[in-house]
Amino acid sequence: MKLLILDTSTSLCGIAITDNNTLIFEEEFIGRQIHIEVLAPTIKKAIQAHGNVDAIALTIGPGSFNGLRIGLTTAKALAFVYRIPIIPVPTLDALAWQLDISNFPCKILLYSHRDYFHYAEYFLEEGSPKSLKTQFKSASEIIEEDDLPIFTNEVEKLTLLVDNPVRMIENVQPRISSIAFWAYKNKAHASTDYYTLEPVYNAVYVAKKWTPPAYIQTELSK
């Protein structure tokens, strides 16, 4: 089974092709707002070099609001044209599947904005990481819940937000290999229902009324 792997859930944009879980193409880009620039050209390059794929696996969320939309829209377009299924991979699961079994139980945190993180508590079930529910809370709320080890993509930001120097907080970043591994193990989740497949935002984004800076208000009042 040949998979096109896409990860646009964070500031890292990853594109890869795996053939029966063997990596045959991989490129990664890091930076804010780069997904829309590099995703389509790199996918074209990958498919031209290695041929058509049997399915598309991508991180479905939680994660970057814009990144998730760009990734899923691109995946849907390709899947519709080639008539292939999409395998949605939960972003936190992709992070958890990188860890050694000795690290469980633990919490996986994915930074959202300000002092908020997406997170879930993971434990082992039949040798594989499992979680009960993905939640969305502030860093201090998460830290105060219990003493479980924490793995996050933003160690520095989390440690700055909380005062808990004795807590085990370690780094974990998205990896194409773990996304591919999850997809191969969970092929039953493949879907051709392109119209109802949506990103898992896991947070309510509320638009706030813009308040002009003081100097602009002064000019407007003249």
The answer to whether the predicted template modeling score (pTM) of the entire model surpasses 0.75 is yes
Query: How far is 145 from 33, CA to CA, in rounded Å?
Result: 33
What local confidence, expressed as pLDDT, does residue 218 receive?
66
What is the structure's pLDDT at 129?
96
Q: pLDDT digit string (tens) for 19-53?
A: 998 999 999 999 878 999 999 999 999 999 999 99
pLDDT of residue 213: 66
The helix (H) or strand (E) run that includes residue 23 is strand 22-30
Under 8 Å between Cβ of 199 and 69: yes
Which H/E stretch holds residue 116?
A: strand 116-125
Mean of pLDDT over the chain: 90
Phi, psi (5° rounding) for residue 164? -150, 70
Consecutive H or E run containing 113 = strand 106-113
160-218 residue pLDDT tens: 888 765 578 999 988 998 999 999 999 999 999 998 999 998 776 555 666 666 666 66
| Confidence at residue 210, expressed as pLDDT on a 0 to 100 scale | 61
The CATH fold assigned to 99-170 is Nucleotidyltransferase; domain 5 (3.30.420)
Model pLDDT for residues 63-109, shown as the tens digit of each residue: 998 999 999 999 999 999 999 999 999 999 999 999 999 999 999 99
Residue 81 has a pLDDT of 94
Whether the Cβ atoms of residue 98 and residue 66 lie closer than 8 Å to each other:
no
Percent of the chain residues topping a pLDDT of 70: 90
- What is d(CA 85, CA 88) in angstroms, rounded to the nearest whole number? 10
Distance CA 165, CA 180 (A): 35
All CATH 3.30.420.40 domain ranges of the chain, comma separated, are: 2-90+174-189
**By CB neighbour count within 10 A (0-12 exposed, 13-18 middle, 19+ buried), where does 106 fall?**
buried
Pairing, β 135-138 against β 116-125: antiparallel
Span between the terminal Cα atoms of the chain, in Å = 68
- What is the spatial distance between Cα 90 and Cα 76, in angstroms, rounded to a whole number? 17
What 3-state DSSP class applies to 43? Answer: helix
**Which CATH architecture fits 2-90+174-189?**
2-Layer Sandwich (3.30)
What is residue 163's predicted lDDT score, i.e. its pLDDT?
72
Q: Which two tokens stand for residue 183?
A: 């997809």
Residues in contact with 141: Cβ distance below 8 Å, sequence separation at least 6, in sequence order: none
